[in-house]
Structure 1
Amino acid sequence: MRIAIPLTGTRGDVHPIVGLAVELRRRGHDVLIGAPPNLVDFVTAAGLPARACGPDVQRLYSSDEGQRALAAGNTLRLMQLVGKQMAKYAERMNREVIEVCAKAELIVASTVTEDRASSIAEAMDVPLVSLHYYPARMNSAYPFPGLLPAQWNPPATVNRATWLLAENLRRVVFLRYLNELRGMLGLPKSYTSPAAALARAGVPEIQIYDPALVPGLPEQWDARRPFTGFLTLDHATRAAVGELSGSHHDILAWVESGEPPVFFGFGSMPIRDAATVFAMVKQVSTRLGLRALVHAGWSDLDIANTATDDRIKLVGDFAYDLIFPHCAAAVHHGGIGTLFESLRAGLPTVVCSVSFEQPMWGGQVEKLGVGAHLPFTGMTADRLERALTPLLNEVTRRRVKAFAATLRTTGVAEHTADLIEAAAR
């Protein structure tokens, strides 16, 4: 079966889908991934065919405008920013998604490409499956991610109201470009939201995050929205894309030379003033007597020339599952991939959220008793110290270890592929 997977976003959006695509290819399917131009090489390194699809979102976030929107920590403002970028890129992206899907017998979309994929699947009369990285549909258990303060526990009516607001905003922002696409496909205009369109077509919406992170939600949804857990890469693919290369021996030697360190990192969020953040990490580490393992990520930190001491190690990319089990806690942005890795390693986790669904995950780790939440926009050394200190004890570590045992860590790609093949049938 020919399967097209159009994607856009950051590496955090593409990484788990590569794990699924490898499993689908292993089963004999012909898979083509549409990836952001800056991530095409990552996909092809995994041995998968890929073609450019969508804008370079990391470049957008790194721009002055993107940095201002990230600094505001406002999901609606970021949604408007992405909408503005799409205004410049919409026609090209419409063509690119059509080209990726041209010969498909099944289309697998993501949270951010399902709207375009829905119209293309309709025009081609082929099945569609959507993959959701976080709760992306109306429910009464949780508000729309990032719209309300993460520590709130709103009543069901308020939660549902946030979804009505967000879904209508998305519909208004992107409707023009979707109807241009529908015109290209010979379809009539549509004024419905992507959520309503997929519901009407009965499209499966597979939740590729762990149900343990969202208690109360699985009970609200039917079999059209099954939960699988987080998708990871198998060993061979990880080696192929370079995840297992680099200085793991050097990092492990440093980690094991003293007390377990606390990990600090901000993943694919481009932090422009990283030197200030690094200074906060050094200050907190000194105050609490911690060793700190600091990941530079996509920041502007110069690993070779940034001053450190014997209690702080600054590193580039590494395989989290090889290092995290040797750490004492983790501080990061709350992207679902990094969050999964820190929690499955049993690490109490401080989520310093930037935007989109990250504040929701920060709120969840706090409510579940496995970490704390600190919005990145309000982070200071004092606040970081107050968030981290209560987590550095054996009682919390045991609680997180117990939670880790509930996470789905095996057979996730296989289960997801089973659901996709069932949808095709």
Structure 2
Amino acid sequence: MSAVIPPLVLPFVSERAKKTLDKLAIFVEKECIPADAVFEAQLGEGVDRWKIQPSIVEDLKNKAKALGLWNIFLPKNHYENGAGYTNLEYGIMAEQLGKSTIASEACNCNPPDTGNMEVLAKYGTEGQKRKWLAPLLTGDIRSAFLMTEPDTASSDARNIQLTMTKDGDYWVLNGSKWWSSGAGHTKTVVYLVMGKSSPNDPDPYKQQSVILVPANAPGIKLKRMMSVFGYDDAPHGHGHFVFENVRVPASNMIVGEGRGFEIIQGRLGPGRIHHAMRAIGVAERSLEYMIARASDEGKLAFGKKLNEHGVVLQWIAEARLNIDAARLIVLNAAVKIDGGDAKAATKEISQAKILAPRVALETLDKAIQSLGASGVSQDTPLAAMWAQARTLRIVDGPDEVHSQQLGKNEAKKGLSLQRKIQDQKSITSNLMDQYEVRDESPTKALL
């Protein structure tokens, strides 16, 4: 079994990465996907789901470490703590991880820890790295990311209202956070919290800071765990918290006061591309279900297999076209990051962040439709995959924000394109005179 590497990017994938990709593909197909159902069964039901860490995950972690499939997300040209692969190489690997519920965690490549580790690796002090990054890299602890708030439009981070007030050698935090990814896990011991530390700074992009908050700090109250289209996402979860006079040592501030926007932009760029990479894997697995159902001779519809109905063949063809196109968009963004950084690849990341979840959702929808009643049930992973994929159109900036920015950047080309078209018209007019072509020629009208 080999991972699919598009021929276009094949020259940019090292032999070492190819071997790792093959090992990862086998690991996901033979170990992780079969273990997904065991993971759910070990979690059980009710409130106990938040108290259990299924043993099968730890077993898979040990196997992943032994196979060299650990921390493969940190790109080699930006960080020294990772496994030494490029963003492009990891992009193809992440597609494999996206096919399983637990594969990312098994390889220590699960959000929000990946983004939090990148923040600490890039911005953390030596003390912060020793205390938090080192055990995150070994998988001994987990973390959560607290940015979104219930009472404000958090897609515009300038609206963040949780206050950070300096009090001697401490910062005092007050406010609410929800959709705090990773907060439910039994191993989560630290939160990366964004708040407003400098409300009077004239620059609205320098009013926010990010600080490391121990999960057991006095004053943090868990209000509830959020559900995702009815799924609780245990034991990972998304918490709704209230902070009441939570005192945090000033040494826990990341980089410095007022650097929050810089940090989250550095964090969310890679996070967006990682989500898009995994979404391709989701789309591929859902297409597998669609094709398998369409080929089932035991379940005929109106006397025919589904793949003998033109509409289903059209679904399969469109899914293949869309997935392959989305994959290239995602890998193009990865290449752009490799050539510079996430900031230099803003346009390409936005394209991937918009397109990959959209394609995953479209493919999932057709796969569910193909399977009928079983597609919306717990008998296949499709319904749960759809719920997760749907959230990707909101997390790390809703589609509309990215589309608006893409549109603005394209619209800036307006004047230069007007001049270009006018120049072409002038050249056409001169050519018409040169070749004695009448002005009413349809060729001129085309320009």
Question: What TM-score does the superposition give when structure 2 sets the normalisation length?
Answer: 0.30
Higher helix share: 2
Q: Which has the higher contact order (CA 8 A, sep 6+)?
A: 1
Question: What TM-score does the superposition give when structure 1 sets the normalisation length?
Answer: 0.31
Which protein shows a greater Rg?
2
